[in-house]
Each structure stands twice: as structure tokens, then as C-alpha cells.
A and B are shown apart, each in its own frame.
Chain A
Amino acid sequence: MLEAAALSKSFGDHVALHPLTLRVAPGEILCLLGANGAGKTTTINLFLDFIPRSGGRALVDGLDVAAEPLETKRRLAYIPEQVQLYRTLTGVENLDYFQRLSGRPPLDRAALLALCDRVGLPAGAADRRVSTYSKGMRQKVGIAIAIAKEARALLLDEPTSGLDPQASNEFSALLAVLRDDGVAILMATHDLFRARETGTHIAIMKHGRMVDRFAAADIGHADLERLYLDHMRN
């Protein structure tokens, strides 16, 4: 569903991403681990066609993102580190707006409220302006937007950083549901624990290169931490 083939990006002399090849199939969660500047966000930006690539290709559902920038975006959903919403609008108004703009048929109010409930927004919060929302609540609205869009691929850029453990846990549980529904998920994260818990695959990135890649089931948490730190030290 998500595929990079020798995808690369340079900013002048600086190579932000060396040729990268990866695939995320439906029902898989690939977690990109790595320090800041490792190329995780660059990879996501290239899939979104927000920055022009320097080489290779990025495909969504077999379509090249640079050739079909609108069509590929309609098939995926993007959740940034901080989901940003329109502060003067309520949660349900925000959800409605993003839903309508994603080109999907609009949902009625009951369906929107059901969605808010499904992602675990506290009762009554849906009709409050989002300026009163915590970060965890905003991330939940982000997930609700992705679910409403019925996206077949999900791009997540450190979506749980700064969330308290409970919120982070709830978020991961929602991701697991989407994974089980057959959504292909590419997630950049710093959270080794969550990566192993919810990810199906893990890739470690360093200085714009993918230096390791393995199935999450093949590794214990302690081993993952050791492996990660070894890569960072070398």
C-alpha cells in the first residue's frame, strides 16, 4: 500500500534521506525509529509530496505521489505530532469540516458524534470549542478524521510524543484497531515500547539511512533498546 523505491532527498549538499526502499502492506504498522534528523519526517513529507524528492519514487496504492498528488492524498490520512484544529470551532465542527474536505460523503451529526465516542473523546467534549482540548483529545480527533476518511494508509509523525501513558495507550489501541481493519500504517516515533507493542515491523534510521529492519514479534523490549542504542553509538 505504501512503497518507497530508492526514494531520496537532498537539501543542497546535505543529504536528508539516502535512497530508501520500504513497503508497508495492508494490516502492517511500520515504525520508524531514530534520533531527530534521522530522516523520519522527511520520509513522511515525501509521501505527502509536501517537498519535491531528489530521486526514486514514493507510491501510495501503486500511484506515484508526485504524478498524482491529489489522488494519492485522498487514499491516505496524516496525523502530525500535534493535531491542529480550528480553535473557534467545536470538536464535531472540526471533524465535519475535515471530513467534507477529504472528498468523502458528509456524515450526519449522529455519525460524527458516534465517531467522537469511538475514539474516546469524553462525553460532552464534542460540542465544546477545541481551544479547551488537551493534546490527547486533539490527537483523538485526528484519529477520528482518519477513520471518517476511510483512509487505506496512515502516515503518523510522532503522534504520541508528549501524551501521558494512558492517552498514549488509548491512542495505540485505536491504531491496533485500524491495523486489524487492514490499514497500512507508517509511523515515525521515539517510543520504543509503543513501537514494539503496536508495530508489526520496526526500522531504525540514522543520518538519513535505514540501518536496520525487522519484525516486531522477533525481538524483546530489552533487546530492542540495546539494538537501538548500539546503532546510535556506532
Chain B
Amino acid sequence: MLATIVRKEFTEMLRDGRVRLAAVALLALLAGALLHGRAQTRALVAERAAAQAATRADWLAQPAKNPHSAAHYGIYAFKPRATLATLDDGVDPYVGVLTWLEAHKRNEFAYRPAQDATGAQRAGALTAAVTLQLLVPLLIVLLAAGAFATEREHGTLRQLLALGVRARTLGAGKAFGVAAALGVVLVPATVLGVAAIVGLGGDTAHDLPRAGMMVVGYLLYFAAWLGVVLAISARARTARVALAGALGLWMLTTVLAPRLVTELARALRPTPSAAAFTAAIRSDLEQGFDGHAGQAEAMEAFRRRVLAQYRVDSVSQLPVSFAGLELEEGERIGNLVYDRHHARLWDRFAAQERVRTASAVVAPVLAMRALSMGLSGTDVAHHRAFAEAAEGYRRTLVTAMNADMTRNARGTDFDYKADRSLWGTVGAFDYDGPSLGATLTEHAGALAILGAWAVGGVLLLTGAVARLRP
């Protein structure tokens, strides 16, 4: 009997011209988004790999020079484009893709594509993720809002119930019927999605489990929508009321709520402006912080400490280059300040993220969005990991330069020239993003909320069907 209901629902939907049109339109949009994402990934992967190789070649090609000059010459770190960013570019357009690594300074990320985008591009960048998160629920609304309500309005529900059909069987049949119709869109969509990321040079062992988890997340998300919309349909008097109710819910939770929640997160957990952030770092560097002395005072104390340690009266008597030691100490003090401010800033971003994820209790799209960005490698946590890795590399590089100077520039200090072979002693910058486990831990809350929504949707539907009236 269940199979009969599923087949009939499926047949009816396929014969409905509006459903066919909506399904074709959705698939076309998705195909467009994937094609665009693929082209972008292909270009960016090549571009950034080439840029990373070029900046490394520039570094290695430096002539013999003072190591500190080399540290100032610096090197760029380019954030690699994740293969799965084809599906969801997440925060990538907003956070910048490269940073300049040099002595003394932890630089901000530069080149944010969103800065160059028009308002329209920024508002409606159509990625596969946006299509799946916004438009598939809309398709579910179109398919499922009338499931019970249309039959109630036409009177067929009365006749069905008069047959002695179990309401629960009917509910399950409707759910699977709509799911089957959705499958007509989602199965080709999955094939398209896989086709879009194959051959982009990604690491399959890395990408495949993430893509699999993404499928799980979307299935939970769609199941929640299906349950809720069918429950509305089971309670609504007419198809029009059901459609209005479900569309209203979609507008509120999927279009409006994410914008409101973004503002809410900013208001609750404000982040400093770029200018204020830079000024605070400069102030801490110059004047000290938390009992740490200001720069001038700290360096004077360091000089005395070194002289005492080597039991000498002046820096010229030291067996090493004091300039090298002094540079490294400057780095150490600077890093304390940078760590302090950046950790605080990242924690603020993480707190905003927690506000957004918690809001998924009322707007499931927020949980789906967080999970999708995390699995695509384009969330804030991935950006932070990259920024920390780049900063770590900066410190390795600068420390290596300072150490060489300390060892070899006694008496010559800044006039000392290191041999070209020094540049190669620092390995190339190599970055591996967070593991799948780390990402799942990061987004365990979002995954739990999605699961709760799916279970809640099924319970809502079961409850509504248990009291099904003709």
C-alpha cells in the first residue's frame, strides 16, 4: 500500500508541468553554479600554485645580502584554493587570499575578491551551496505544501480516509513520494557535483569523506524541510493556506533570519575595526602591556641581561652579533603582542560563529551553511588555520635569518652579507588544512542541530498525521 501511494504521488508530480519546470530550472541553476565554481577553482588553483612557486623562486634568487634585508624582502603566502570550494566558497571572498610575510610585522590578509565585486555580485553569488541551501527547500515547499491540503480542498482526502487507509501510511507515502520527486533533481545534481570536482587536482582521500559528510548533512537538512512542510500541509485547510504558511516559513528562516543573525552576532560579539585593531597593536608594542615594558625600555633591559649573561661590559665584547640577538628579541616581544591581539580577534570571530550556529535552532539553514563551509574548507576555522600556519612560517623564516646574523655578523652587524645558500635552508611553505575530524569537532553543534531538525521534522509530521482530519 505504501508503494502504491509513493508511486501515485510521484506520478502526479511528474505530470505537473509546474513541477517539471521548477525541477529543470533548479537543475539548470545548479549546473551553472557548478560550472562557474569549477572554472573558478581551476583558475585559482593554477594561479595560486604559480604565484606560490614564483614568490619562492624570488626568495631563492636573492643575491648575497644581509639576512635581515632578506627577512624584509620577505615572501608571500597564498591560501590554496580547496577543491570543494567549487561547491561553497564560504568566507573566502571576504577574508583575503594572500599575506606578505616579513620581519617585525604580522601583516593582514590582502586581496579580498568581495571588495572588487559589485553589490549585486556580493548579494547573489550563486554557488552550488546557495542553490542547495536556499532553492531546494523552496522546491520542497512547492512539492509538499499541497500534499495533504490540496487533497483536503478537493475532497479526495475524505474519500481516501473513508477507504480505511491508515493516516500514518498516507503520511509516509506522501513523504517518500515527494522524496522520490526530489531525487529526480538531487541524484543528477549529485552526479553533476562529483563531475564538477573531479580532475581539479584535489586529493581524493581528503575530499571524498568530506563530500560524503556533506551529503549526510544535506539529507538531514532536506528531511527536516520535508517533515515540516508536510506537517503544515496536514494541518492547513486549503492548499493556498499551506503554501502561504510554508513560503512564509521559508522566507523567515532561510532568507531573513541569516541576515538578521549576522547583524545580531556582530552586535553581541563586536570586532574592532581594522584601524582600531592596528592602533591597539602599535600602542602595545610601543608602550607595553600587562606589566610588559614598552619597546625602548624592554630592549634596554634585554641589553643588560645579555651583557650579564656573557659577563661582559659592552656589546662589542660579545662573541656574537648583538644586532641579531636584538632583532630576535624584538620578534619575540612583537609576537607576544600579535598573538594576544590575534587570538582575541579570532576568538571574537569564533564567538560570532557560535551565535550564528546557535541561531540554527530557529533557522536550520545556518547550521547547514556552517557545516557546508567547514567541509568545503572555506569557513573561518580553515582561514584561521591557514593564517596561523603562515604566521608560523614567517617566524621560522625570520628566526632563521636572525640566527644566521647572530652567529656570523659579530662586529659587522648590518654590513654582513650572507651567502645565497642561506635562503634555501628555509624550506618552502607547505600547508595542510585541518583534518576532517577537527572540522567535524568544530561543527559538531551544527551537525547536532541539523540532526535534531530532521528528527523534529519527522515527529512534527507524525504528530500532524495522527490527528489528520478530512
Segment with Cβ contacts to B, from A16-24, A74-82, A171-179, A182-190: A74-82
- CB-CB under 8 A from B470, the residues of chain A are 50
- Contact yes or no, A103 B164, CB < 8 A: yes
**Size range of the interface on A?**
20 to 34
Return 27 A-B CB contacts under 8 Å, by A number. A48-B162, A50-B470, A69-B164, A70-B164, A72-B164, A73-B162, A73-B163, A74-B163, A74-B164, A78-B162, A80-B155, A83-B159, A84-B154, A85-B156, A86-B12, A86-B156, A88-B11, A89-B11, A89-B12, A97-B4, A97-B8, A100-B1, A100-B4, A101-B1, A101-B5, A103-B1, A149-B163
- CB-CB under 8 A from B160, the residues of chain A are 98, 101
The smallest C-beta distance from A7 to any residue of chain B, in angstroms, reads: 18
The smallest C-beta distance from B171 to any residue of chain A, in angstroms, reads: 13
- Contact yes or no, B164 A102, CB < 8 A: yes
- CB-CB under 8 A from B4, the residues of chain A are 97, 100-101
A180 interfacial by beta-carbon distance below 8 Å: no
Closest to B469 in A: A50
Closest to A85 in B: B156
Closest to A50 in B: B470
Residue from B11, B16, B163 in contact with A102 in the complex, judged by beta carbons closer than 8 Å: B163
A80 to B156, CA, bound (A): 10
A98 to B151, CA, bound (A): 14
CB contact list, A195-209 vs B, under 8 A: none
A97 to B15, CA, bound (A): 16
A100 to B155, CA, bound (A): 18
A6 to B358, CA, bound (A): 57
A71 interfacial by beta-carbon distance below 8 Å: yes
A93 to B5, CA, bound (A): 12
A76 to B159, CA, bound (A): 11
- CB-CB under 8 A from A80, the residues of chain B are 155, 158-159
- Contact yes or no, B469 A101, CB < 8 A: no
Task: Kindly list 19 other residue pairs between chains A and B, CB separation below 8 angstroms, not including A73-B164, A86-B12.
Answer: A48-B161, A50-B158, A50-B161, A78-B159, A78-B162, A80-B158, A84-B159, A85-B156, A86-B8, A93-B8, A93-B11, A97-B4, A98-B159, A98-B160, A100-B1, A101-B165, A102-B165, A103-B1, A103-B165
The smallest C-beta distance from A173 to any residue of chain B, in angstroms, reads: 23
List 4 A-B pairs, minimum CB-CB distance, nearest first: A73-B164, A78-B162, A84-B155, A74-B164
The smallest C-beta distance from B14 to any residue of chain A, in angstroms, reads: 9
The smallest C-beta distance from B223 to any residue of chain A, in angstroms, reads: 25
- CB-CB under 8 A from A103, the residues of chain B are 1, 163-165
B166 interfacial by beta-carbon distance below 8 Å: yes
Interface residues of chain B: helix, strand, loop or mixed (majority): helix
- CB-CB under 8 A from A89, the residues of chain B are 8, 11-12, 15
A155 to B163, CA, bound (A): 12
The smallest C-beta distance from B358 to any residue of chain A, in angstroms, reads: 42
- CB-CB under 8 A from B1, the residues of chain A are 100-101, 103
- CB-CB under 8 A from A76, the residues of chain B are 162
- CB-CB under 8 A from B8, the residues of chain A are 86, 89, 93, 97
Closest to A79 in B: B159
Interface residues of chain A: helix, strand, loop or mixed (majority): mixed
Closest to B156 in A: A84
- CB-CB under 8 A from A78, the residues of chain B are 158-159, 162
- CB-CB under 8 A from B5, the residues of chain A are 101
Residue from B11, B15, B16, B163 in contact with A98 in the complex, judged by beta carbons closer than 8 Å: B163
With A50-B469, A101-B1: A82-B155 Cβ-Cβ less than 8 Å = yes
- CB-CB contacts of B109-153 with A at 8 A, as 1s and 0s? 000000000000000000000000000000000000000000000
A73 to B159, CA, bound (A): 11
A70 to B163, CA, bound (A): 8
The smallest C-beta distance from B162 to any residue of chain A, in angstroms, reads: 4
- Contact yes or no, A101 B155, CB < 8 A: no
With A101-B1, A101-B4, A103-B1: A88-B155 Cβ-Cβ less than 8 Å = no
Residue from A70, A84, A98, A102 in contact with B166 in the complex, judged by beta carbons closer than 8 Å: A70
A227 to B243, CA, bound (A): 50
The smallest C-beta distance from B3 to any residue of chain A, in angstroms, reads: 9
- CB-CB under 8 A from A69, the residues of chain B are 164
- CB-CB contacts of A87-125 with B at 8 A, as 1s and 0s? 011000100011011110000000000000000000000
- CB-CB under 8 A from B16, the residues of chain A are 88
Task: Determine which residue in B158, B161, B164 has the highest number of CB atoms from chain A within 10 A of its CB, and name it.
Answer: B164
- CB-CB under 8 A from B11, the residues of chain A are 88-89, 93
The smallest C-beta distance from A8 to any residue of chain B, in angstroms, reads: 20
A84 to B162, CA, bound (A): 13
- CB-CB contacts of A124-156 with B at 8 A, as 1s and 0s? 000000000000000000000100010000010
Closest to B13 in A: A88
Closest to A157 in B: B158
The smallest C-beta distance from A74 to any residue of chain B, in angstroms, reads: 4
CB contact list, B201-221 vs A, under 8 A: none
Closest to B163 in A: A102
CB contact list, B1-31 vs A, under 8 A: 1, 4-5, 8, 11-12, 15-16
Closest to B15 in A: A88
The smallest C-beta distance from A105 to any residue of chain B, in angstroms, reads: 12
